[in-house]
């Protein structure tokens, strides 16, 4: 078991780094994109993948234990709830009459 | 390894504060709700990182409740935005 520890740590480092990268991309998208629909497109997907990858990395680092199981339950929760809330938000924005941004228009405030 | 997890947590917190700008500035209400949703997801991941660093399993339960609260909060907020009431059927 101990001979597998370096491999486990390396896999955890890679997964956590990929998750952090996706979070960074999501933040940039949330701050820079022109209107709400593009922002929810960027932020929701990047958050789902980022949180999923990072949490799976932490579960791998923990090894076979109760906390790894709890982290996997958290991954399941994030994978189900994050796209659902993103969809609900986009639907609410569309139904309340928010117009999508067209190319060539002025960006919204900031 | 602890240093790596600490730096990841600090990186995520900086990201979360950057996302708070969208909650402050967002031109529409849905922008603000989306930004808070994203910030809470990042906070959840930071909680799991702290649980791994400190070896406290309790923080994982806190993170689980936090994630459920995030989901319920967003769905209720969108329902209120869409139908302008909280009880009764949709439309």
In a domain, B88, yes or no: no
The domain containing residue A8 runs over which residues? 2-95
A59 and B CB contact within 8 Å:
no
Q: How far apart are CA B91 and CA A20, in angstroms?
A: 40
**In the predicted model, what is the mean pLDDT of chain A?**
88
**Using CB atoms, which residue from A26, A27, A61 is nearest to B52?**
A61
The domain containing residue B31 runs over which residues? 2-83
Number of domains in chain B: 1
**What value does the mean pLDDT take over residues A54-75?**
91
pLDDT at A65: 87
In a domain, B89, yes or no: no
Q: What are phi and psi of A36, to 5 degrees?
A: -65, -40
Taking the mean position of all CA atoms in its chain, how far away is CA A88?
16
**Using CB atoms, which residue from A62, A77, A88 is nearest to B67?**
A77
Q: Are A17 and B7 in contact (CB under 8 A)?
A: no
Lowest-pLDDT choice from A2-16, A65-79, B10-24: A2-16
Residue A11 in this model has a pLDDT that exceeds 60: yes
Number of domains in chain A: 1
In a domain, A61, yes or no: yes
Is ipTM over 0.95? no
| Residues of chain B found within 8 Å of residue A71, distances taken between Cβ atoms | 48, 60
Ranges of chain B with pLDDT below 70: 89-91
Q: Where do the H-state alpha helices sit in A1-110?
A: 5-32, 36-62, 66-95
In a domain, A103, yes or no: no
In a domain, A104, yes or no: no
A67 and B CB contact within 8 Å:
yes
């Amino acid at each position: 078991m101990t001979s597998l520890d370096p491999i486990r740590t390396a896999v955890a480092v890679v997964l956590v780094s990929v998750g952090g990268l996706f979070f960074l991309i999501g933040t940039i998208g949330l701050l820079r994109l022109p209107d709400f629909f593009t922002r929810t497109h960027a932020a929701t997907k990047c958050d789902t993948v980022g949180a999923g990858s990072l949490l799976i990395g932490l579960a791998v680092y923990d090894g076979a234990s109760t906390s790894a199981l709890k982290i996997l339950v958290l991954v399941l929760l994030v994978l189900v709830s994050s796209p659902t809330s993103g969809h609900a938000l986009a639907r609410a924005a569309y139904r309340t009459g928010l117009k999508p941004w067209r190319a060539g228009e002025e960006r919204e405030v900031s | 390894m602890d240093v790596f997890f600490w730096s990841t947590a600090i990186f995520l917190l900086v990201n979360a504060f950057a996302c708070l700008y969208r909650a402050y500035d967002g031109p529409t209400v849905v922008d603000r709700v989306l930004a808070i949703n994203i910030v809470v997801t990042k906070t959840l991941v930071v909680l799991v990182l702290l649980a791994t660093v400190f070896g406290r399993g309790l923080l994982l339960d806190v993170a689980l409740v936090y994630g459920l609260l995030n989901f319920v909060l967003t769905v209720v907020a969108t329902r209120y935005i869409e139908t302008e009431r909280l009880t009764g059927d949709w439309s």
